[in-house]
Amino acid sequence: MTKAVRPDGSGSNGSGSNGSAGPEGRSGRGPGRRPGPTETREAILAAARDLFAEKGYDGASLRAIARAAEVDPALVHHFFGNKEGVFTQAMRFPVDPSEVAAKILGAPRERLGEMMVRTFLEVWDDADRRAPILALLRSAMTNERAAVMMRQFVSTALFGKVHETHRIPMLRINAAAGQMVGVMLLRYVLEVEPIASATGEELVDLLAPTVQRYLG
Amino acid sequence: MTKAVRPDGSGSNGSGSNGSAGPEGRSGRGPGRRPGPTETREAILAAARDLFAEKGYDGASLRAIARAAEVDPALVHHFFGNKEGVFTQAMRFPVDPSEVAAKILGAPRERLGEMMVRTFLEVWDDADRRAPILALLRSAMTNERAAVMMRQFVSTALFGKVHETHRIPMLRINAAAGQMVGVMLLRYVLEVEPIASATGEELVDLLAPTVQRYLG
DNA sequence: GCTTAAATTCAACGCATGATGAGTTTTAGC
DNA sequence: GCTAAAACTCATCATGCGTTGAATTTAAGC
């Protein structure tokens, strides 16, 4: 999963010019722009997302990101200015809040709890959608800037809609959020058993009444 | 809060011997053992606990710990071997599980939820008792070894007793743990409002029924 | 096709980190 | 009071980090 094979439209380029004993020290590729359309920026962001998700902001180094994207560290800088820039861009779509909100708010009020649990599980079970949230959560533990983003994300984007449309007190929404965040943490980060191996339906049965009580 | 003033039993020692222009580069104190009984080991552990709580395992550097304890980094090594040793020793009393368990299990079963919420709040409101748990939580997000310790702590020490004495299914205990951990995270780490500013009683009223439902 | 701009790598800087080994001063055992 | 051990600092190493500036190669605009 770590290695991304490039499709490579035509094998016509460089690599064979000085085949004997060139200074193949760093990254096995010469300087200069690569042929074909530019896809590197996206590759860097993808690698960044994975690494931030795995190690958090401080733990993921620019150099490791560059390595994973098979690129020189300076290129990361060229595109994003600095590490914070990479993080900000990589987090630029934790989850499309409107899409999620629509799904949850489409349900009748007496099934809010169930829909919320189902939606959380759906998002967290999909590695691509889980990554940015996990990155944000991990980073927010040790990095104040990430904590601000997380706070904003939790309050405004995710649970704010529920507050606005149903006039539910914020404290109750926080309690529901706490239940969901805590369970996700136990299940996906700490991998505490047996909740890490429970089925989705088990969790819905277990948690939906709680969330419903807070939001109903 | 960062600076710890040493009581210093008697002012009879060193410090004035070469007063003019010694090599006062590093730590303002010469080499050699200090007079009086040894209190440095504890000072290092206290500093370590604070810094691990604030920044997590990877974020807290040995050098920063040494700086906070007003000690040379090599001394930390001398006492604890390596960074992992410092962490392990600093975490050697997250919360005395038996004390906590006794308090919770002393309550009748129909008030388990209330007692659990009250106990969590009491521990987390006390900075000294909060520090090691916070350190463990923060560290467990990015450090596998800390995650193992945290898993063990959550499962065995804290909630294991409840499982054993009351024969409550582990999955339900996990759900209750998730609720509590999540709320603590929102309240004390991310400081999401309004739950960060809510009173203890508000939280008991809000959360106790949930926990009671899981454990009852 | 020439020129400008963008993509890409290389080499290096200054800094912080965890670790080690040697040296100095005090305490504790006898 | 001597001696062995413990406490303590200093200087240093190798490594990895974020960042910078210059050089090189390709793509785009005209």
Q: What is the DSSP string of B118-167?
A: HHHHHHHHSHHHHHHHHHHHHHHTT-HHHHHHHHHIIIIIIIIHHHHHH-
Answer yes or no: is pLDDT of A115 > 80: yes
Give the pLDDT band (50/70/90) at residue B48: very high
The residue whose two tokens read 């507050």 is A163
Chain A neighbors of B201, CB-CB under 8 A = none
Stretch B119-145: mean pLDDT: 92
Name the helix (H) or strand (E) containing A117: helix A112-125
Stretch A200-204: mean pLDDT: 96
CA B175 → C1' C21, Å? 52
Please indicate if any CB of chain A lies within 8 Å of the CB of B123. Answer: no
B209 preceded by cis ω (within 30°)? no
Q: How far is A147 from chain B (nearest CA, A)?
A: 6
How far apart are alpha carbons A198 and B97 in whole angstroms?
27
How far apart are alpha carbons A36 and B46 in whole angstroms?
57
To test the contact with chain B by mutation, choose from A149, A186, A202, A211 the residue with the greatest count of B C-beta atoms within 10 A, namely A186
Region of residue A192 (left: phi > 0; alpha: psi -120 to 50; beta: else): beta
Task: For residue B128, give both structure tokens.
Answer: 């000294």
Closest of A183, A208, A214, A181 to residue B208, by C-alpha: A214
Give the pLDDT band (50/70/90) at residue B38: confident
The confidence score (pLDDT) of residue A10 equals 36
CB contact under 8 A, A185 and B180: no
Encode pLDDT of A136-184 as tens digits: 999 999 999 999 989 988 877 777 888 888 899 999 999 999 999 999 9
The confidence score (pLDDT) of residue A28 equals 61
- Greater pLDDT, A120 or A36: A120
* Residues B162, B165, B166, B172, CA torsion sign: positive
The confidence score (pLDDT) of residue A159 equals 77
Give the pLDDT band (50/70/90) at residue B153: confident
Fold of the domain spanning A37-90: Arc Repressor Mutant, subunit A (1.10.10)
Bases of chain C below 7 A from a protein C-beta are: 5-12, 16-28
Share of chain A above pLDDT 90, in %: 61
The confidence score (pLDDT) of residue A82 equals 94
The confidence score (pLDDT) of residue A34 equals 66
Chain A neighbors of B56, CB-CB under 8 A = 141-142
Nearest-CB residue to A178 (from B137, B155, B183):
B183
Global confidence as pTM: 0.82
Angle at which helices A40-59 and A83-90 cross, to 10°: 110
- Greater pLDDT, B62 or A93: B62
Nearest-CB residue to B138 (from A142, A179, A181):
A142
Stretch B150-162: mean pLDDT: 81
The A residues from 15 to 54 touching B (CB cutoff 8 Å) are none
Quick one: B160 exposed, middle or buried, by C-beta within 10 A (0-12, 13-18, 19+)? Answer: middle
Answer yes or no: is pLDDT of B166 > 80: yes
- Domain regions of chain B by residue span: 37-90, 97-215
The answer to whether the B37-90 and B97-215 domains have the same CATH topology is: no
Give the pLDDT band (50/70/90) at residue A16: very low
Answer yes or no: is pLDDT of A38 > 80: no
B10-14 own/partner pairs: CB under 8 Å, 24+ apart? B10/B35, B10/B36
Give the pLDDT band (50/70/90) at residue A50: very high
CB contact under 8 A, B179 and A182: yes
CB contact under 8 A, A140 and B190: yes
The confidence score (pLDDT) of residue A47 equals 96
Encode pLDDT of B11-21 as tens digits: 333 333 333 33
Residue B206 DSSP code: H
The confidence score (pLDDT) of residue B13 equals 36
Range in A20-29, B83-92, B106-115 the model is least confident about: A20-29
Domain A97-215 CATH superfamily:
Tetracycline Repressor, domain 2 (1.10.357.10)
The confidence score (pLDDT) of residue A152 equals 86
The confidence score (pLDDT) of residue B12 equals 35
CB contact under 8 A, B174 and A190: no
How far apart are alpha carbons A154 and B142 in whole angstroms?
21
- Greater pLDDT, B4 or B71: B71
The confidence score (pLDDT) of residue A32 equals 62
The confidence score (pLDDT) of residue B6 equals 37
By the 8 A CB rule, do B80 and B90 touch? no
How far apart are alpha carbons B91 and A21 in whole angstroms?
53
The confidence score (pLDDT) of residue A35 equals 64
How far apart are alpha carbons B30 and A47 in whole angstroms?
48
Please indicate if any CB of chain A lies within 8 Å of the CB of B131. Answer: no
How far apart are alpha carbons B145 and B88 in whole angstroms?
10
Stretch B118-144: mean pLDDT: 92
Mean pLDDT of chain B: 83
The confidence score (pLDDT) of residue B57 equals 95
Please indicate if any CB of chain B lies within 8 Å of the CB of A55. Answer: yes
Chain B neighbors of A214, CB-CB under 8 A = 206, 210
Residues in chain A: 216
